[in-house]
Structure 1
Amino acid sequence: MLYNPKYPSITDLKKKAKSRIPKFAFDYLEGGCNEELNLLRNENDFDSIFLKPRYLQEVGAIDMSVELFGKKYSAPFGISPIGLQGLMWPNAPEILARSAAAQDVPYILSTVSTASIERIAKVSEGKAWFQLYHPTENRLRDDILQRLKDVECPVLVVLVDVPSFGLRYREIKSGLSMPPKLTPSTILQAMRCPTWGIKTLQYGIPSFATLKPYMEKGLDLAQLGQFMNRTFTGKVTVDKIKAIRDIWKGPLVLKGIATEEDMEDALHIGVDGVIVSNHGGRQLDAAESSIYSLMRLTAKERYKQQMTIMLDGGIRSGVDLGRAHAVGSAFNFMGRPFMYGVGALGELGGSHTINLFKAQLYQLMQQLSIEKVDQFPDRLQ
């Protein structure tokens, strides 16, 4: 198991990554919206969930594997989609997709990440999922879906919680609002992180690789911002999801569901799963934490019977993974922890972070006398 003992926790990886990533890029990764209250709730609300050990109970071999949409994964977690991954650490999408494929956990590529559908399909051996930012034009939507069919993408995730871009103060002050811009300050920050700079020169200035076929050549920064706003501004409605359901015959997941009303619509449309999420606290500061939304939705047994309910947001340890399963999550995704991993350890960061979570979850299952992940609800205090 590839695991660096100098970094046994996500906190250790975060501290190291912060020293190696320029401030403007780290702020993009780390920040939430407005006063960042929801960002804090996502992590802190896990602390109110307590697990119950059974020390005198017999227990056999521990099996962390989980079956999801017809495929067996080695552990009950995957890597969340994150935009502009290559800005935060050069070549991050490929590092993470390759590590996830090797370890048999899912990696989700974002529409606005810095590697293309085709490249990630190749390095992940066809195992990577894809998260769709719904375009305003159906022509563009249909072309992206066809590209996904061509590479036999196993799962399509449609993002629903970005009707407008969140007001993120850190990005505005760092010059990474739309349109993004470089300033003397950001250039100086980059110079203070030589490894990041060398790797950026090696792999090239990051861009929206999946979207390149739809962009005019030679766009300046202002025109790029206009393209993004023109292409992706707008609500994802029931009718838009129905249209995708008619086209996409594989597993279809909605990411960003947080209420009973939207869950009812998801059931009516006939999607295969939802990822309960608040976009990492980056969209609505007055929203509840993802884990609290999950607890409310999984309290209704019929939702769990008809839909695969997963979680994204706030998980920072194997203990948090156990807590999520104890309150009803079938599977979990983490974004920032894996970016801390590649920021701290580069090419080794993806595998290290996967193994970190596996080791922590394995120890927790030993402590609670649990053999399989679906036994966690029996250990809820």
Structure 2
Amino acid sequence: MSTVTASQETTNSLAIPTTMRAAVYRGINDVRVETVPVPEIGAGEILIKVAACGICGTDLKKIHSGSHSAPRIFGHETAGTIAAIGPGVHQFEVGERVMVFHHVPCGDCYYCRKKTFAQCPVYKPAGVTAGFEPSGGGFAEYVRVMDWIVRDGGVVRIPDGVPFDQAAFVEPVNTVLKGVKSLNPQPDETVLVIGQGPIGILWASLVLRTGANVLTSDLYPERHSIAAGFGLKHPIHAATENVAARAREATEGRGADAVVIAVGGNGLIRTAMEAVRPGGKVLLFAQTQHGEAIFDPAAVCMDEKFLLGSYSSSIDIEHEVEDLVFNGYRNGFDLTRLISHRFPLEQAVEAIQVASNPCASSMKIMIEHETSETGA
């Protein structure tokens, strides 16, 4: 296989070092900032110099649960600059600013035909790596983007004027918008979003754009203040109020037409089922760990309440998401307002600690390798 090495300096690459710094997962709750080789790329592949990478809840679950073998380098909300292109790559150039999806479906299999892209066998393996088993790699200075990701739409150009940290939201916004479309809220309906961290606020603000009435629930008043900046004006203070009772009060006693659980853990499933009206929908968005959960089966059978799930992104809505994130930055949908902490890569362990212990003052945690400039 033809490769572009880390030390090669030709027209298809910038000056690239042979080694880099990365936050390496070595086992349960064990992440270390180490020096590792810069990955080499082959035909059809590109190398990205990472500028910004958000810490996602799924990264944290993998780190804390030991669900994945070690060593690995996580991080998949990645934006940066193309540092090298492999043989056969003609649609991108060195120096372009891009974000990258670490999963892309085949588009042809049974699951793709049914628009269930996250279940596609080609989608499941990660196609972006900073070394070791491919796992996203954004918690490193450089990532290698494999050929099928490059070929099938997984690399997205960032327009001039849009900073890297805004562009890093493209992947999470896609996952949320996919869920919103699955929920299909109507203008005469009321939707309760449980959890007002960065994902919960994304959920609530995108549901609000459908014309539905939106209730938001969170333990922290400070998060409701941030949500208000996105037009969300019906908070429920979960630390002092009964969430299900408040949902019924807001809907003439019926309960919300739909409830979204945008925070991890299974304990809120019962609350959501109590808060939703008969015939309404409960959507699980952050319940990504297998195990048992408790809910009332008669609520599904006799009350005809629907229990739904939505996971990962959809390539079908990629252009709509790009418009939301890129044009939205210029038109009031500035997602960088959700960032509470920015850490350099050398402090990645501290960044993961902050993200793992959410509090009133923490929202989106971003690892940034250089200033999140907007481009010329």
TM-based fold match above 0.5 = no
The TM-score normalised by the length of structure 2 is 0.29
Higher normalized strand content (fraction of residues):
2
The TM-score normalised by the length of structure 1 is 0.28
Task: Work out which of the two has the higher radius of gyration on C-alpha atoms and give 1 or 2.
Answer: 2
Larger relative contact order (CA 8 Å, sep ≥ 6): 1
